[in-house]
Amino acid sequence: MGFFEAFGGMALGFLGAGLAAALCCIGSAKGTGCAGEAGTGLLCEDPGKFGKVLILQVIPGTQGLYGLVVWFFACFRMGMLNGTAADLTVMQGLQYFVACMPIALGGFLSAMAQGRVAAGSINILAKQPDHWSKGMVLCITVEFYAILSLLASMLMILNI
């Protein structure tokens, strides 16, 4: 019995789906935490900027949502959420695992990078309040790559 056969296809598919959700949520927690730390410093000086700080802090949290969407979609396609679960072959399990990796890795890394950009954008808000939207545009540039990762995972899952 080989290594992959010992786990079975369903376990490999769940591992991929679980990593998609977990890694994206870890990245989002780190990203929103980084932005939140920068935001608390500004809010000590100017509590009136809470709304703009909150927007900048929330942006790195979207990757966690993307990971959860992929987890949900993969589990649904594997039959776990609609009661049609069947034993997946090892090949099918590996296909789900690989399909979940773009968002797992892309979401994890982009959320942390976006958190650092959001923290820098909070510095723009502190020093040049009229230009805070420029920082938001920089954050959204990073978001584009998380969306590409989401798209790649979704397209692969749909074609299994």
DSSP 69-87: HHHHHHHHHTTTTTT---P
* pTM, rounded to two decimals: 0.93
**Alpha carbons 133 and 81: distance in angstroms, whole number:** 41
Structural domain contains residue 37? yes
Domain that holds residue 39: 20-158
Do 66 and 157 contact (CB within 8 A), yes or no?
A: no
* Per-residue pLDDT reduced to its tens digit, 87-119: 899 999 999 999 999 999 999 999 999 999 999
Q: Residue 2 falls within a domain, yes or no?
A: no
Low-confidence stretches of the chain (pLDDT < 50) are none
The reply to whether 10 falls in a domain is: no
Residue 14 domain flag: no
Number of domains the chain is built from: 1
CATH number of the structural domain spanning residue 106: 1.20.120.610
* pLDDT at site 7: 78
Q: Residue 50 is which amino acid?
A: F
Widest distance between CA atoms in the chain: 64
8 A C-beta contact, residue 46 and residue 130: no
